[in-house]
């Protein structure tokens, strides 16, 4: 199975900050990488697919980049509703696997 490792596991930031979350795959996955946001008691919500494509309806302050084994999710200017847990997920091979999550908290 492909292992997905996110860093950091948690971070604190303020409204208006620029934030970057990193995801590393245990082998090359080209751009078969998705990002999700999860709020308490809710299902994960797709933000970015294919490493850098913005899902319909997702604000443009979210962006993704990377290929191969290293990927980033960037939030350009944090809004109050962005404080949540973020997950990466690879769709390169079965089983599709997720990172352990990054908890973004208010500073």
Partner 1 sequence: QVQLQQSGPGLVKPSQTLSLTCAISGDSVSSKSAAWNWIRQSPSRGLEWLGRTYYRSKWYNDYAVSVKSRITINPDTSKNQFSLQLNSVTPEDTAVYYCARDNPAFTSSSRFDYWGQGTLVTVSS
Interface residues for partner 1 in 70-99 (CB under 8 A)? 87, 89, 91, 94-98
According to CB under 8 A, which one of 23, 36, 37, 82 is a site residue for partner 1? 36
CB–CB of 52/15 below 8 Å?
no
Stretch that binds partner 1, among 7-15, 17-25, 30-38, 71-79 (CB under 8 A): 30-38
φ and ψ at 82, to 5 degrees? -85, -5
What is the DSSP track for 52-93? TEEPTT--TTEEEEEETTEEEEEESS--GGG-SEEEEEE-SS
Q: Is 53 in the site for partner 1 (CB under 8 A)?
A: yes
Token pair in block for residue 22: 């990193």
CB of 26 to partner 1, least distance (A): 15
Q: Which residues bind partner 1 (CB under 8 A)?
A: 30-32, 34, 36, 42-46, 49-50, 53, 55, 87, 89, 91, 94-98, 100-101
């Amino acid at each position: 199975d492909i292992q997905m490792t996110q860093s950091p596991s948690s971070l604190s930031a303020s409204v208006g900050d620029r934030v970057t979350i990193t995801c590393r795959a245990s082998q090359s996955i080209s751009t078969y990488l998705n990002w999700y946001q999860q709020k308490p008691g809710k299902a994960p919500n797709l933000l970015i697919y294919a490493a850098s494509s913005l899902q319909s309806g997702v604000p443009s302050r979210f962006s993704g980049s990377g290929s191969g084994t290293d990927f980033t999710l960037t939030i350009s200017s944090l809004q109050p509703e962005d404080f949540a847990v973020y997950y990466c997920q690879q769709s390169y091979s079965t089983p599709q696997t997720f990172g352990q999550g990054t908890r973004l908290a208010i500073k």
